[in-house]
């Protein structure tokens, strides 16, 4: 069965500092990977996705993620965060022939001034 693990439940970070959110996945078949962001009391918004091709994926709001097959990781990074990046971030997997997303437990990012 596929699983997605987010290693940090909370990440406090100062404004304009870099941030990295860690994600590892396990799967025996090809997998698509996504990062979603959830702002307070809102739905989820897609930040970026990896389907195939280049392992460095750029998304919205200055975020990027790198797919690393050997380490089964898909870490999310932003070089300089803003207060508005305070939110919960979910790493999500989807089996290539599947129809249900598997969510990691989420990482709460709190950006401090």
Partner 1 sequence: NAGVMQNPRHLVRRRGQEARLRCSPVKGHSHVYWYRQLPEEGLKFMVYLQKENIIDESGMPKERFSAEFPKEGPSILRIQQVVRGDSAAYFCASSQDRGGDSPLHFGNGTRLTVT
Binding site for partner 1 (CB under 8 A): 32, 36, 41-46, 49, 51, 90, 94, 96, 99-106
In 3-state terms, what secondary structure has residue 5? strand
Of residues 15 and 106, the one with the C-beta less far from partner 1: 106
CB of 103 to partner 1, least distance (A): 4
CB of 37 to partner 1, least distance (A): 11
CB of 82 to partner 1, least distance (A): 22
* Phi, psi angle pair for 8, to nearest 5°: -120, 125
Tell me if 11 sits within 8 A of 111, measured CB to CB: no
Of residues 41 and 113, the one with the C-beta less far from partner 1: 41
Of residues 17 and 46, the one with the C-beta less far from partner 1: 46
CB of 85 to partner 1, least distance (A): 19
- What's the rounded Cα separation, in Å, for the pair 60 and 37? 11
Of residues 5 and 72, the one with the C-beta less far from partner 1: 5
Tell me if 87 sits within 8 A of 37, measured CB to CB: yes
CA dist list (Å): 19 to 3, 32, 46, 63, 76: 23, 23, 18, 10, 8
């Amino acid at each position: 069965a596929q699983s997605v693990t987010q290693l940090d439940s909370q990440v406090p970070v100062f404004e304009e500092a870099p941030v990295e959110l860690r994600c590892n996945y396990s799967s025996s078949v090809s997998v698509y990977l996504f990062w979603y962001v959830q702002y307070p009391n809102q739905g989820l918004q897609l930040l970026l996705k990896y389907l195939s091709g280049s392992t460095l994926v750029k998304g919205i709001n200055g975020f990027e993620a790198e797919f690393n097959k050997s380490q089964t990781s898909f870490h999310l990074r932003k070089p300089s965060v803003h207060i508005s990046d305070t939110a919960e971030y979910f790493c999500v997997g989807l089996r290539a022939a599947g129809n249900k997303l598997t969510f990691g437990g989420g990482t709460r990012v709190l950006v401090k001034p």
